[in-house]
Structure 1
Amino acid sequence: MTRYEEIAAELRARMDADPPRYPIGSRLPGYGPLTDEFGVGRGVLTEALGLLALEGRIKVTDRSGAVVLDPAEPPGRIDVGTTVRRNDLGYIFNAAAGHWRPITTPTRRWLPAPPHIARLLDVPKGADVLERHRVIGPDGRPVLIADSYLPDLARDTILEDASTGPGGIYDRLEHDLGHGPLTWTRTTSARSATPEQARELGIPRGGALLVLTRITHSGTTGRPVEVNITYVDGGRFAVEDIISRDETAHWPTTPATAENRPGQPQ
């Protein structure tokens, strides 16, 4: 067992003691006291805390240290099915987020398109795009970061304003700018949080993020008119899909006739 695994095991035992030395909702001692107690450097302690965070035992933040979590509490679910919903606020892509609101006023800026955004929007590299940056969550708690990128069609329109009115940018694109009905495609990936993203979400630097990339296509031209990239704390949320049966798997099934063995062609 490595030193960081030994430290993680000791801290885990303190959480599981009866009564627990570190009960659910309490904070672990800071880096200074723990490195002194265990006689290790900050790097080893960071690995130990990272292991506990991966197990869902603690949440580490740059601001308040490590908070002890309930290991029996399941992660929140991000519904990324194939259905877009709508309520009086507009389109909803995650059912759980229908009541989430911006924590702060969205920031807006024109900037040269980063290479991946230029590719997704099908515009030349370095072309001006409008970035709209928001931090969103329930009850004033930051849960996700949503960055939207729009091409030059947004220039000198309400899409540049802090508030884009009822229904947001999608209603403006569909009804005011003549791009309805919109269609969307989405990919799901993962990456490490940048220092700025970690600060906004209250997670460790380099913490895991779920990355949901959604491309909005014009109903009149078929071209991309917006790219939305949503970053979600991978330690608190999991992607959930409903798996349906294809016609080939329709019940009742017939017994399989082949066995899946190593080395056999599939």
Structure 2
Amino acid sequence: MAEPAHRRVADAIRAAIERGELEPGARMSTVQQLADLHGVSKETAHRAVRSLVAEGLITATRSRGMYVRNRPRERVIVRDRTVYRDELGYFFDRSAQDWRAIGTPTRGQTVAPAHVADMLEVGREEVVFARDRAMGPPGSTTASQLSTSYLPMWLLTELPVVGKAQTGSGGIYDRIEEHFQVPIEWSEMVYGRPANDEEVAKLGIGEGLPVLVVTRLAAVAPGGRRQVVEINETRMSAEEFAVAYPVQRDASAAWPRA
């Protein structure tokens, strides 16, 4: 069975990129020029271009035309999932220890996404407090990750400092532990999805490309009564970052075997 024409064209362009004939940042031929070069219709060439955009190999805009994208998979950064502490407070990955805010963080009341509201144990239409910030390595002007903390309004009533611009040394986690006099316990889930418009703009990634979402739940249990105090969602380019974690043995997988 013959290979569809649009796949043949996409394969040829992909091979040229992989051979280095089309370097990152290079402007590509127009769709009509590609159609003429490969002897196919303009619609077939357009389908090939769309598939390469979806792969993240090229960027296509009406104003600037088509360009070969940088290939970040050659420099994937592995994020570990361990909580550490330094002189500034808790942080959750050694590779991002020196990252700082890019631009001015924002904060205010909002309605959380449905899955965040469920995890925060509030109603789906209930107002919560959100703290947003973009983070990146020192000297960077483009964010490497976007982070949003969602806090229940009862926590702000009980502990107003967590809603302020300046929360003091150690940030909201230190204030929460000081207030409740118990340690915070965290749990996380990681998943991928297509980037939304805000993420495309702030992270500088192509439309439709995936982001890696790390959703972290923070809870305290004063007097044995568990309360969820924050949900943090961190988003980063799935092309540039991976998550690593140790694989632990359950008692049923103990060695030596019984």
* TM-score bracket relative to the smaller structure: 0.7 to 0.9
Are 1:46 and 2:50 an aligned pair? yes
Give the Cα–Cα distance (whole angstroms) in 1 for the partners of residues 247 and 124 of structure 2. Answer: 38
In structure 2, the partner of 1:132 is 131
TM-score (structure 1 length as normaliser): 0.78
Pairwise CA distance, 1:210: 1.2
3-state SS, counterpart of residue 51 of structure 2: helix
Give the Cα–Cα distance (whole angstroms) in 2 for the partners of residues 124 and 13 of structure 1. Answer: 51
Following superposition of structure 1 onto structure 2, how do residues 74-113 of structure 1 map, counting pairs within 5 Å? 74-80=75-81, 83-113=82-112
Match of 1:193 among 182, 192, 195: 195
Alpha carbons of structure 1 residues 199 and 70: separation in structure 2 relative to 1, 3 Å: closer
Give the Cα–Cα distance (whole angstroms) in 1 for the partners of residues 53 and 112 of structure 2. Answer: 37
CA contact (8 A) 2:218 2:230 kept: yes
3-state SS, counterpart of residue 124 of structure 2: coil
In structure 1, the partner of 2:27 is 29
1:110 maps to amino acid: Q
2:22 maps to amino acid: Y
CA contact (8 A) 1:61 1:203 kept: no
CA contact (8 A) 1:7 1:48 kept: no
In structure 1, the partner of 2:69 is 67
Alpha carbons of structure 1 residues 181 and 131: separation in structure 2 relative to 1, 3 Å: same
Give the number of aligned pairs: 239
Higher helix share: 2
CA contact (8 A) 1:109 1:131 kept: yes
1:121 maps to amino acid: L
Alpha carbons of structure 1 residues 179 and 35: separation in structure 2 relative to 1, 3 Å: farther
In structure 2, the partner of 1:158 is 161
Pairwise CA distance, 1:115: 2.6
Match of 2:13 among 11, 14, 24: 11
Give the Cα–Cα distance (whole angstroms) in 1 for the partners of residues 130 and 60 of structure 2. Answer: 27
Pairwise CA distance, 1:10: 2.2
Residue by residue, what CA displacement relative to the aligned partner does 1:11-65 show, whole Å, maximum 9, x if unpaired?
2332344xx3223xx31325xx3313213355541212323x3xxxx47487984
CA contact (8 A) 1:180 1:219 kept: yes
Alpha carbons of structure 1 residues 112 and 246: separation in structure 2 relative to 1, 3 Å: closer
Give the Cα–Cα distance (whole angstroms) in 1 for the partners of residues 181 and 86 of structure 2. Answer: 20
Give the Cα–Cα distance (whole angstroms) in 2 for the partners of residues 239 and 70 of structure 1. Answer: 15
Give the Cα–Cα distance (whole angstroms) in 2 for the partners of residues 59 and 48 of structure 1. Answer: 6
CA contact (8 A) 1:111 1:130 kept: yes
Give the Cα–Cα distance (whole angstroms) in 1 for the partners of residues 16 and 69 of structure 2. Answer: 14
In structure 2, the partner of 1:209 is 211
2:124 maps to amino acid: K
Give the Cα–Cα distance (whole angstroms) in 1 for the partners of residues 109 and 181 of structure 2. Answer: 21
Unaligned runs of 5+ in 1: 255-266
Pairwise CA distance, 1:131: 0.8
CA contact (8 A) 1:60 1:203 kept: no
Unaligned runs of 5+ in 2: 36-41
2:25 maps to amino acid: R
In structure 2, the partner of 1:257 is none
Give the Cα–Cα distance (whole angstroms) in 2 for the partners of residues 2 and 125 of structure 1. Answer: 46
Give the fraction of aligned pairs with identical amino acids, expressed as a percent: 30
Give the Cα–Cα distance (whole angstroms) in 2 for the partners of residues 36 and 179 of structure 1. Answer: 67
2:236 maps to amino acid: V
CA contact (8 A) 2:84 2:91 kept: yes
Alpha carbons of structure 1 residues 249 and 27: separation in structure 2 relative to 1, 3 Å: same
3-state SS, counterpart of residue 27 of structure 1: coil
3-state SS, counterpart of residue 104 of structure 1: strand
Pairwise CA distance, 1:228: 0.4
